[in-house]
Amino acid sequence: MSRDALQESLSAVMDNEADELELRRVLNAFDDAETRDTWSRYQVARAVMHKDLLIPRLDIAAAVSAALADEAVPAKAARGPWRSLGRLAVAASVTVAVLAGVRLYNQDEIAGNELAQQTQQPVMAGPQVKGPAVLAGYKESSDTTGPMANGVLQGQSGWQDQRLPGYLRQHAQESASKGTESALPYARAASQENR
Amino acid sequence: MRAIPLLTLWLSSWFALSAHADEAQDWLTRLGRAEQQQSFEGTFVYERNGSFSTHDIWHRVQDGHVRERLLQLDGAAQEALRVDGRTQCVSSVLVAGLASSSDTPSRALDPQKLTQFYELAVIGKSRVAGRNAVIVSISPRDQYRFGFELHLDRETALPLKSLLLNDQGQLLERFQYTRLDTRAVPSDQDLQPGRECSPVAVASSKVSSTPVTQVWHLDWLPPGFQQISAVTRKDTQTKATVDSLMYDDGLARFSVFLESAKGADVNETRAQLGPTVAVSRRLNTVEGEMMVTVVGEIPIGTAERIALSVRSGKAAAKP
């Protein structure tokens, strides 16, 4: 099983687009810590896109598993009312785990953003948490420094510094030459030169 | 008996809805034609996260030829001249990588095709640049693309304002005229580019032995996207060979760039510049490690998934 295929399946599961096979593939691989990390990273990325930020590290699946593991398996002999009571107890503790998780997950937006900023997720740059799309508070172009000063960049390194502006430029200019929507792609291309 | 008024109500609302969609389609069809038929000059602003610029535009339709000159009014005097959809010259800052692709003509807007992936509707009227406008919303039917809100001139159907919105309805970019004159026909002098505008030369390095499309393919494409170009070019600064593929769905576009990582210490990156995202990741191939970078006006999740689906090899790309 290649890593790529697995990641793709994960992505598909997240988009609700996975077929049976992909779902099974993901479930099988879910014991693997790395896979779970990837999953939670995708969740964060998705949450940022949907603007409902949550505690990224919170792992409901793990909490549920733990709750199940802690629960003593009801003795086989115990027939009668006690047995169903035991089952109820398991169900209840799982419910509590899930509910606690859900409550934490669905913090309102502001609290969520604060949390994310406090936890300093290595994957996500702070500004992106606020939403990648904000026009308010733009700066005059002459104020900006560096090739990507306005963008939200993560995992920055020399290579990206060198290549990304070129890629962005090529994309914008090629779009402009293929553009159907009038001057818009030109304006986009031009705006990338304004640094 | 009670069913009859209900049925009429249902039918009339259905007709009204489809009429709305048809009306929107008509407006987009008019928009597609407007720039081929209408001369104008004006001033517009472009705004995205971190950038605000103003531009003058002269657009002349004469004897079936369209000549268009654009000039940035603030900062560097960036300029471009386009004749019949082909770029003739750009000011020095804009050159690079454009040359080889400029010989393919631009594609026409096809509202019929758009309706497969976007919902079109006339959602109201507005006033932009002192002119009356109708608002046409183009909202995506899936989560793989962004939506537009176009304010089209009631008289000419020219786009007076164009907003790009994400799935939360947040504004990613704004393109808006502040002045538009459709009565004046720009003179030769107006359309004369300045000395800074250097002619677009055909790149000499564009010929590649293997078509790029045979070397790379995508296992997954967002529905409706088609490849519109494939280019191999040599970066003038880094001397590296970069393969690039471009795709569009009739409205949105993204590019995939492939370049050898050559053992360089490269991180996987996610960046967002206003409406444009860039996602890059490593890909192991038989020829060594490559960097795959997806750049486009698409949601970051879409870009991420595309980047994950790039494969090398001659397998046929799925539609």
State the smallest CA–CA distance between residue B30 and chain A in angstroms.
Answer: 12
| pLDDT at site A145 | 32
Do the chains contact at A188 and B46, CB–CB below 8 Å? yes
A84 touches chain B (CB under 8 A): no
Sheet harboring B118-128: ordered strands across?
B118-128, B131-140, B147-153, B159-165, B171-181, B40-48, B51-62, B65-72, B79-83, B86-91, B197-199
| pLDDT at site B55 | 95
B12 touches chain A (CB under 8 A): no
Sequence-distant (6+) residues with CB within 8 A of B307 are B256, B279, B280, B281, B292, B293, B294
Q: Which residue has the higher pLDDT, B132 or A155?
A: B132
Q: How far apart are alpha carbons A114 and A116 in whole angstroms?
A: 5
Q: Which CATH architecture has domain B3-199?
A: Clam (2.50)
| pLDDT at site B12 | 64
Locate all alpha helices (DSSP H) within A15-144, ordered by sequence. Answer: 20-29, 33-50, 60-70, 81-105, 109-119, 126-129
Q: How far apart are alpha carbons B244 and B265 in whole angstroms?
A: 22
Please choose, from the candidates A79, A59, A62, A80, the residue with its C-alpha nearest in 3D space to the C-alpha of residue A70.
A62
Q: How far apart are alpha carbons B105 and B97 in whole angstroms?
A: 16
> A136 is written with which tokens?
């308010």
Least confident segment among A101-105, B104-108, B214-218? A101-105
Do the chains contact at A177 and B87, CB–CB below 8 Å? yes
pLDDT for A126 beyond 50: no
State the average pLDDT over residues A29-33: 76
Give A-chain residues touching B174 at CB under 8 angstroms. 135
Do the chains contact at A193 and B174, CB–CB below 8 Å? no
Do the chains contact at B305 and A11, CB–CB below 8 Å? yes
Which residue of chain A has the CA closest to B273? Answer: A151
A80 touches chain B (CB under 8 A): no
ipTM of the complex: 0.82
Q: Please, are residues B131 and B182 in contact by the beta-carbon 8 Å criterion?
A: no
| pLDDT at site B146 | 95
**Quick one: A60 exposed, middle or buried, by C-beta within 10 A (0-12, 13-18, 19+)?**
middle
State the average pLDDT over residues A115-129: 38
Rg (C-alpha) for chain A, rounded Å, is: 23
DSSP string, B226-293: EEEEEEEEE-TTT--EEEEEEEESSS-EEEEEEEE-TT-----EEEEETTEEEEEEEEEETTEEEEEE
Q: Choose among A12, A141, A193: nearest Cβ to B93.
A: A193
Q: Please, are residues B240 and B260 in contact by the beta-carbon 8 Å criterion?
A: yes
pLDDT for B41 beyond 90: yes
**Quick one: B310 exposed, middle or buried, by C-beta within 10 A (0-12, 13-18, 19+)?**
buried
Q: How many CB pairs under 8 A join A and B?
A: 253
| pLDDT at site B116 | 92
Do the chains contact at A11 and B275, CB–CB below 8 Å? no
Least confident segment among A3-17, B131-145, B199-213? B199-213
Do the chains contact at B269 and A168, CB–CB below 8 Å? no
State the smallest CA–CA distance between residue A58 and chain B in angstroms.
Answer: 21
Backbone phi and psi for residue A118, each to the nearest 5 degrees, phi listed first: -70, -40
- CATH code of B204-312, in short, is 3.30.200.100
| Residue B318: strand, helix, or coil | coil
State the smallest CA–CA distance between residue B204 and chain A in angstroms.
Answer: 17
**Quick one: B27 exposed, middle or buried, by C-beta within 10 A (0-12, 13-18, 19+)?**
buried
Bridge partners (DSSP) of residue B174 are: B47, B163
**CB-facing half-sphere around the CA of B164: CA atoms within 13 A:** 27
Q: Which residue has the higher pLDDT, A94 or B302?
A: B302
State the average pLDDT over residues A8-37: 79
pLDDT for B19 beyond 50: yes
Q: How far apart are alpha carbons A15 and A146 in whole angstroms?
A: 35
Please choose, from the candidates B207, B125, B185, B194, the residue with its C-alpha nearest in 3D space to the C-alpha of residue B160.
B125
Least confident segment among B37-46, B84-93, B264-273? B84-93
Average pLDDT, chain A: 62
Residues of chain B with CATH 3.30.200.100: 204-312
Please choose, from the candidates B241, B223, B219, B243, the residue with its C-alpha nearest in 3D space to the C-alpha of residue B231.
B243
Q: Which of residues 164-223 of B touch A (CB under 8 A)?
A: 166-168, 170-175, 219-220
